[in-house]
Amino acid sequence: MNKQGLKNTVLEVLNEYYGTPSRPSTYTPGTYSVSSMDRDRKRKMMDNEEEESENPIGDKLQEVLKNLDSDPGYEQAIAICKVLVKNKSILRDLLEQLVEQQELAEEFVNSLEQ
């Protein structure tokens, strides 16, 4: 997957949780239920099943997302962060996408300042 594909995938995930300027999410920090996230993700996975089977990188990213949700020790999150630290251009691209998501950007900046 190239940079643009990765950016699109991350933006899609961010939009799933935080909505878009034209379609705000119902996400409220600490109140979004895992079961509804899982239900949305499963529905999306079923809709894109054919595309994913033809896209091995997409399959790997879906596995990363699944592992991230079920990772009690944060090993998957740490592995993802190591990739971002080693590749500043991907980190920069993700942060640029973050700027477009106002609610998520505010939450990120507040967490960064703590």
* Domain around 46: 3-113
pLDDT of residue 48: 60
Determine the average pLDDT of the residues in 100-108: 90
More confident residue, 31 or 70: 70
Confidence grade of residue 13 (pLDDT, cut at 50, 70, 90): confident
pTM of the model: 0.45
pLDDT average, residue stretch 5-9: 79
Residue 37's pLDDT band (boundaries 50, 70, 90)? low
Determine the Cα–Cα distance for residues 84 and 3; give it in Å rounded to an integer.
Answer: 13
Q: Report how many domains make up the chain.
A: 1
